[in-house]
Amino acid sequence: MKKEILHKVRYPLLLAAAAILAVWLWTARKSDRPVEQAELKPREKIYLRREGTFRPGETLEKVLLRDIYDRVLADELIQGFARVFDVRKIRGDRRYTILTDSAGVVHGFEYYPDAVKTVRVLRDSTGVLQPELVQVPLIKRTLALTGEVRTTLYDAVKAMGESDELIAAFSDLFQWDIDFFVDPRVGDEFRMVYEAEYALDPSRPDSLGEFIRYGRVLSGQYRSGSAVRTALYFEQGERGGYYDLEGKSFQKTFLKSPLNYRRISSHFSGGRRHPILKIVRPHLGVDFVAAEGTPVVAAADGVVIEKGYEGGGLGNFIRIRHKNPRFATVYGHLSGFGPGIAIGKAVQQRDVVGYVGRTGLATGPHLHYCFYENGRPVNPLKIKNSSGDPIPAGEMERFKGVREEQLALLAAAPRRGEEVPGVIAGTGPGHMAMPRL
């Protein structure tokens, strides 16, 4: 009886053992085969950030020795840094960051020379410090604003929170026709559509980061009394320029004034009492008062035909003969000359040719500006300017599309600089007039 029971129990046990052995042998054979493993991406290291600011005159060496107390590591960081950025160009009041792990071990250093660049020296996976210059991506937006002159154009735009750069860019559109230092009147109105670039925040692609700089002014309008001037930017191939509503070039042969000045101290006159010589004699030019060192630019394209010092009154001066050889301009009382200015040097309109000074017979810093036609002095404030080339007939249809788009944006310009929506060409106001504020 016992043998029969033992036989019944032993048989299932043997089957179970055989099954376990078979599974073990199959697993052992499978383990000999190569196993394909999923590629694991290394996790990005997260560092602690110790931030600071360079003091005026402070060197990279001084900052690193003060903050990390390790001469060898400081030298390694400086050597890597110098491979991508000139250490002599480090400026005071610029921020930097030291990157460490949770144990305080230094793994890298970052310096921010401006809002769009980061100089980074960081350890790689092998522990070697690797330098790189990182460019922050930018995003461009089209903005617009409108306003009214209460005192000056400068005050009106500044009151909207915009900067000197935008004021200068807008003024440049009309520099051949409007002298914004003397021509504006209370009640004048202005509108502009312009580009602005912002730092792109990758973590928030739908938002704007820090404002970086202005781009191009795409269009502008200025109303003074019943006169309305409209300037539109239009590109032809790789070149672009500003044109009026009929496609005529806004650029004129001569600038209305060759510098940004405060006031006119002496006008063109056949007889003026000289402030130093105390005698009456002709004043065959215009005196523009400006801060010493203010850049003076060429009023038009031409060639420098005289450069030197004239002790009888002009002091440091240059004379430019222009493309139309009938015309020449003279710039006197300069404190110095522009880069590369020499006799025979070709210059283009708005090239810096010198700087305001008080050399020669001068009671204070100003520019003495003379204009000659066929050797005869002419009042620079009363010359008749000619325009550049108009839009070619083959480009007029495309120009009309740009014109309609920009006029619609100008008409919708808000009181402050805000982003404007895209406008389909052809939906702009057909009357081409500036709407009242």
CB atoms closer than 10 angstroms to residue 207: 10
23 close to 54: Cβ distance less than 8 angstroms: no
Chain Cα centroid distance, residue 269: 41
Residue 82 lies in a domain: yes
Residue 186 lies in a domain: yes
Pair 409, 355 in one domain? no
User: CA–CA separation, 185 vs 416, rounded Å?
Assistant: 21
Please write the tens of the pLDDT for every residue from 114-164.
878 899 999 998 889 999 998 888 888 899 888 999 988 888 888 888 888
Pair 361, 401 in one domain? no
Query: For the chain, first and last CA: distance in Å?
Result: 117
Pair 111, 146 in one domain? no
Pair 296, 368 in one domain? yes
Residue 231 lies in a domain: yes
Pair 378, 391 in one domain? no
Pair 159, 223 in one domain? yes
- Predicted confidence at residue 417, as pLDDT, reads 57
Please write the tens of the pLDDT for every residue from 214-241.
999 999 999 998 889 999 999 988 778 8
CA separation, residue 287 to residues 184, 268, 298, 352 (Å) = 20, 8, 16, 18
Among 135, 157, 175, which residue terminates a domain? 135
Pair 75, 124 in one domain? yes
Closest by Cα among 229, 247, 289, 194 to 387: 247
CATH classification of the domain holding 323: 2.70.70.10
User: CA–CA separation, 433 vs 57, rounded Å?
Assistant: 55
Give the strand pairing for 286-289 and 376-378: unpaired
CATH classification of the domain holding 199: 3.10.450.350
Residue 307 lies in a domain: yes
Pair 130, 164 in one domain? no
Domain count, the chain: 3
361 close to 316: Cβ distance less than 8 angstroms: no
Residue 258 lies in a domain: no
DSSP 8-state class, residue 433: P
- Residue that wins the pLDDT comparison between 209 and 138: 138
Pair 244, 339 in one domain? no
Among 135, 162, 181, which residue terminates a domain? 135
Give, for 411, the enclosing helix (H) or strand (E): helix 396-411
Pair 267, 365 in one domain? yes
Extract long-range pairs of 426-429: CB within 8 Å, 24+ residues apart.
426/401, 428/403, 428/404
Pair 127, 66 in one domain? yes
Question: What predicted TM-score, i.e. pTM, was given to this entire model?
Answer: 0.57
List the beta strands (DSSP E) in 24-94.
48-53
CA separation, residue 384 to residues 252, 271, 329 (Å) = 10, 24, 15
Residue 19 lies in a domain: no
User: Tokens 């670039």 map to which residue?
Assistant: 197
Residue 34 lies in a domain: no
Please write the tens of the pLDDT for every residue from 103-112.
889 999 999 9
Domain of 59 in residue numbering reads as 48-135
User: CA–CA separation, 268 vs 314, rounded Å?
Assistant: 15
Please write the tens of the pLDDT for every residue from 18-66.
556 555 555 555 444 444 444 444 455 778 899 999 998 899 999 999 9
Pair 206, 277 in one domain? no
Residue 38 lies in a domain: no
Give, for 90, the enclosing helix (H) or strand (E): none
- Residue 109: exposure state from Cβ atoms within 10 A (0-12, 13-18, ≥19): buried
Residue 334 pLDDT > 90, yes or no?
A: yes
Q: What is the mean pLDDT of residues 72-86?
A: 94
Extract long-range pairs of 107-113: CB within 8 Å, 24+ residues apart.
107/45, 107/47, 108/47, 109/64, 109/77, 109/81, 111/60, 111/81, 111/85, 113/85, 113/89
